Structure 1
Amino acid sequence: MNDSPVDPLAELPPYLRDILNQLPEDHSIALSETAGPLISDIKKLTDRRKRYAYLLLSRHRLTRLLAECPSPCPDLILRRAEVYEALGYSELALADAYVSYTLCLVALDDPDISDLEPVDLEGNPWPPSDDGQSEDDPNPVALKQKYRSLVLMCRSAIILGVQTQAKLWIDEVLAVKRIIRRLNGEEPREPVRDIEEVVGDFSEYSTIYEDESKFHKCVKLLRRDVKPTLFGWCQRQIYPWNEYEPDRMSKEALIEINEKLHVVAPDLEVEISTLPTLTPSMDEGMQRLSVGELRTSVSSTANCSSQLGLFAKKQLAPGATILRERSVLTAIRPHGEAVCDACAADMEDIDRGDRRYCVGCNIPFCSEECQRAANERYHHPNEEDYETDEGYPPAEAPFCPGSSGNDDLHTLGRAESSTTPEWDLYFLLLSRTLQLAETQKLHPLDLFETKYLWGDFSPTPEVIDLPLKSGPKSLPYSVRHHVELPLQWFEVLMHSRERCRPYSATWLKKYDWWIIQTLFSKFRGVADAQQSTWTGKPEVAAVHPLWCLANHSCNPNVTWKPRE
């Protein structure tokens, strides 16, 4: 019998063990909490490094509990959102809080909002019924949860700079506050009193960084009588728990990339190039400003940085085709027969004899090669025209609706009347990536199409040398495209594959919000797009993982065209 003591850190992932081991203290009390330390207790700690470590511990434990729930649990989701806010990840806090808010709407007699079914910590339907409650009154538990969710959503939206959304939610916060007061039997009062109370709840914003002043500046910007902004900025960071990001400069990475490159460009090879750093160091300020930040002095440093680049293995003739890469990581706004679904080639330029169509749903392909690539990598055909009892595609072909099945996955982000075509294309790149990952049974960050993309990430915080300020917000952000549309996408997919339900164990491992944010960081800056010759709006986009290694010039001498 082995009587040796059990290491309480053994069940933690390596990154978390390393962080806690760097703090030579007794963590037994924190480790004994099933859901991790309470955030109210963490905020009382005076050591910022310990707060940071315990927040990461809570995030890990809450995520694990969510994976064990049979359906989304609003309480756990909102608690994780509060942890994300304290860590300075407003983009992740907003996403979790938005789902908690959505589940509250479902519970408050509006089930058409979402097909997600909220449960409590034990897996029972949420919220619990109140025997003393009038049938005409909203459930007080769900109403208070909705209020807390909205407050956190507003704070996150303000710090991210999406002011239009923040103002809409602030109006809703005030309305919910008045309903709560009425249910508590309180007398009506002047609106200014409700505003003061809500402002007090807003003021509870705090993170491990010295960001409170930044938040108050954002609030002042919101109060100004100017046109509010629809889009904002969020961080591009390799999150501390992201164990999928490879070492792009490793020998193994170069071997894998060059093996792929040799097929499409036999006269080229990938090498590491060392170039002078033209962007400022973290110590001297960042040029990209967060909303509410003041501009600081910026200067280039003489430091060098290493990047991957394409190099010729021999002298190349002018005008020669040096690379012929066909990517299926494409985004196509027009939904129909205009372009090849795989490579985005214009179908009008393709001979009728070369055209191919999905035997299930009839989407077009420019060649047998593209059809085969689609069938193998992201679009299994629904040849028998099966569908679920609800009219959704079957689990074995979830992205092929057949001749008359539910087509919602293909229409999301493709509205012809959209005023945000560029943003739509980035969402459609995300959609295609998720299709690739789900079809190939891979993690989205393990796909070759995304694995080595340069995300322009800011450094991951180090617990021993924790910076005073959070990282720069350099990734364009949209609530609609970063939260609402991805959530709708999975709410549709879960009817074909239940394991893809938001906050299921599979979803948390492969598709959690931090993964979506990481993918957006990688797409921005490497995706190529082309405009419609009819409307002038962005129409198609693609990510070519090999081609993007070369195109780092402000005046490139190579260009991209679909199917070329």
Structure 2
Amino acid sequence: MPALQERADVTTRLYEDPHNPHLYYERGLVHEKLGFPDLASADAYRALSLLDSVVDPDGCEFHARRRFHDSPEITESKARDSNNAADDAAAADDDDDDDQFTPLTQSEYDALIHPVYALLVRSLVSCGCFRDAYEFCARGLGSIGSTSDNQTSSDREAHATLAAQLATLQREFARRRNLPSSTTEIVIDDPSALPAQGLARRVLYPWNTHEPDRKSPETLALLNGKLRTVAPKCEVRAVALPALHSITITKPNPSSSSEPQDQEQEQPEEVSIQLGLFAKEDILPGETILRENSLLTATNRLHDDLCDACNGPLPELSADAPPVACANGCDDTIFCSQACHDQAQQVYHGAVCGLMENLESIGKDIPDPKDKADYLYLLLLGRALAMAATQEVHPLELGEVKFIWGDFVDYGHPDPLDPDPGASGNDGTLPFSFQLNILQPMRLLEEMEIDPYAHLRHYDTWVLNTLYAKFRGTASGRLSTWDGGPELCAVHPLWCLANHSCDPNVRWEWGGEITFVARAEAERAVWNLPSEADAAAAPTCRRVGAGIKKDEEILNHYCDIGLGVKDRREWARGALGGFCLCERCRFEAGEM
């Protein structure tokens, strides 16, 4: 059976039997076969969490159980019904359905626990999430023990897998500590030296039925209809852009003693047809051409003086229109106006109202500046989950994210002869970590009183990865005046239609609403000559003059345009999905 069909079948069974660790392990193996070690690691962790309930039932909220075996005919019928059922109706926690399930036994636990550890560690290593892989590897090896007494063949196979992965982690640790990599007994005495963040494939999943045809006449008409009130002098058009993912591929090699390097692979230039924002008429310098509000916002500062909805500043208590507090038990949830309060209740706060005591601290006040930006994306994810739950829609159907492009690549099935299909995760460009892509999203859902297993249809890891890809390519941010780190971010679905250039013709400002303002000539970027260029050389492709002409594309910027080309490309790479190929970057890098 083709692997994609295998995945579809086991996922359908999971919707009917969502607390069955056997099925998560089975699907994890299929995800590994498909070249998705990130999804495999998430399934393995779900299986592991449910298995924990067998040995510690009082310490676990969700308990492992499986549906009694049905005949194939009944199973097929229920699978068809499941596809048409509402998500809540399919939840297996319904008391009326309890007699259809049986708890997992100790013998089932013993047979499954070690293969699950092996899959989890193997998948995390394939993604480059070495720190968490080491933690689970140590736990798995400790669970199996060092003696062969009473070990089954699956135990011995799992032990061999974990031992091999530990050797890989030891080599990575030695490389980072400049230890002799040939040492056979490398002790990982400081796991924090291992990187926690790896990469996943930024892919358009073949089973994703929520991605619209962004270039269809219907989509363009819909977006242009929204632009009439937000940016009346602009319109959306299809535009050909270079496919950045085909230019740079990062391949960390933990078995190598050399530093990992970005391998710039020159491939035939691909073109990606995307959307862009264009001027319908001449626009004067200094003219504001777009004003957009969004409630898909996040801040990482706990108890800050910002509106919970729009992240705009709160008015003074003595103002004629003072701040408005949530009246339903969320004492620290404050809004800048009654309008923001009412809109928040309808858009996102309804699902978390009364639950903020435990939710509000997740991802806030992160001490390490290097982690702040990543945790802002987690907070954006949390807001999107709350919006979906409040509006009772699939997260990918939210109007704020549905038409955003996440710089995806088309899915390519791994070579069936590849002995390590999970290694295809090495061509990933989407940052991925156990904490931000698996553990913390599950925690968010649990604190929202949503069963992450029973509601897998809405909150599966591939859904979260798709949201992260869209956020990383489009979210705007604001730096803290205290430490210079990122503290605010938001997704404005019409604002982000403007494509990136390191020589933008607009600047943007954000304070409750986001705006585009046409740049004057003095505000345009200064192009630097390539390092070996003749001093008399000048870029012939640079447009001069102020304002924006009719039919000219509106060009935004996702990085500090005052940086050099190398630093700009590195900063913008996460948002763009590859190195920037705008005309300024190509000129300054000597590529023109």
Q: Using structure 2 for the length normalisation, give the TM-score.
A: 0.69
Indicate if the aligned counterparts of 2:130 and 2:169 stay in contact, CA closer than 8 A: no
Indicate if the aligned counterparts of 1:452 and 1:545 stay in contact, CA closer than 8 A: yes
Residue 271 of structure 1 is matched in structure 2 by 237
Higher deviation after alignment, 367-376 or 233-242: 367-376
Point out 4+ residue stretches in structure 1 off by more than 6 angstroms.
Answer: 194-197, 215-219, 462-469
SS of aligned partner of 2:203: coil
SS of aligned partner of 1:427: helix
Measure, in 2, the Cα distance between the counterparts of 1:337 and 1:352. 18
SS of aligned partner of 2:507: coil
Higher deviation after alignment, 455-464 or 95-104: 455-464
SS of aligned partner of 1:315: coil
Indicate if the aligned counterparts of 2:199 and 2:430 stay in contact, CA closer than 8 A: yes
The gaps in structure 2 that reach 5 residues or longer are 69-99, 178-192, 254-259, 514-592
Which amino acid in the other structure matches residue 303 of structure 2? G
Which amino acid in the other structure matches residue 344 of structure 1? N
Residue 120 of structure 1 and its aligned partner are, at CA, apart by 2.3
Residue 56 of structure 2 is matched in structure 1 by 109
Residue 232 of structure 1 and its aligned partner are, at CA, apart by 0.7
Rate the CA distance shift 1:353–1:553 in 2: closer, same or farther, 3 A.
Answer: farther
Measure, in 2, the Cα distance between the counterparts of 1:265 and 1:466. 52
SS of aligned partner of 1:449: coil
Residue among 413, 418, 438 paired with 1:483: 438
| Alignment of structure 1 residues 360-379 onto 2, 5 Å | 360=328, 361-362=330-331, 363-379=333-349
Measure, in 2, the Cα distance between the counterparts of 1:466 and 1:563. 53
Residue 76 of structure 1 is matched in structure 2 by 23
- 2:176 is the counterpart of 1:230: no
| Alignment of structure 1 residues 291-370 onto 2, 5 Å | 291-292=252-253, 298-299=265-266, 301=268, 303-347=270-314, 352-354=319-321, 355-360=323-328, 361-362=330-331, 363-370=333-340
Measure, in 2, the Cα distance between the counterparts of 1:544 and 1:521. 15
Rate the CA distance shift 1:61–1:302 in 2: closer, same or farther, 3 A.
Answer: closer
Residue by residue over 1:208-228, the C-alpha shift from the partner in whole angstroms, topping out at 9 and shown as x without a partner, is xxxxxxx99888546646332
Which amino acid in the other structure matches residue 219 of structure 2? A
Residue 576 of structure 2 is matched in structure 1 by none
Q: RMSD over aligned Cα, in angstroms?
A: 3.3
Indicate if the aligned counterparts of 2:245 and 2:409 stay in contact, CA closer than 8 A: no
- 2:377 is the counterpart of 1:426: yes
Residue 570 of structure 2 is matched in structure 1 by none
Measure, in 1, the Cα distance between the counterparts of 2:364 and 2:57. 26
| Alignment of structure 1 residues 367-516 onto 2, 5 Å | 367-380=337-350, 398-401=351-354, 407-417=357-367, 420-461=371-412, 470=424, 472-494=427-449, 500-504=450-454, 507-516=455-464
Residue 524 of structure 1 and its aligned partner are, at CA, apart by 0.9
Indicate the structure with greater strand content. Answer: 2
Residue 350 of structure 1 and its aligned partner are, at CA, apart by 9.0
Rate the CA distance shift 1:82–1:203 in 2: closer, same or farther, 3 A.
Answer: farther
| Alignment of structure 1 residues 143-222 onto 2, 5 Å | 143-178=110-145, 181=148, 184=150, 200-202=160-162, 221=172
- Of the two structures, which has the highest relative contact order with CA contacts closer than 8 Å and spacing of 6 or more? 2
Residue among 498, 506, 511 paired with 1:562: 511
Measure, in 2, the Cα distance between the counterparts of 1:225 and 1:259. 54
Residue 432 of structure 1 and its aligned partner are, at CA, apart by 0.8
SS of aligned partner of 1:485: helix
Which amino acid in the other structure matches residue 261 of structure 1? L
Residue 104 of structure 2 is matched in structure 1 by 127
Residue 295 of structure 1 and its aligned partner are, at CA, apart by 6.0
**Identity percentage of aligned residues:** 33
Rate the CA distance shift 1:225–1:298 in 2: closer, same or farther, 3 A.
Answer: closer
Rate the CA distance shift 1:198–1:274 in 2: closer, same or farther, 3 A.
Answer: closer
Rate the CA distance shift 1:111–1:238 in 2: closer, same or farther, 3 A.
Answer: farther
Residue by residue over 1:220-259, the C-alpha shift from the partner in whole angstroms, topping out at 9 and shown as x without a partner, is 5466463321211111111111111111111111111111
Indicate if the aligned counterparts of 1:151 and 1:201 stay in contact, CA closer than 8 A: yes
Work out the number of aligned pairs and report it: 451
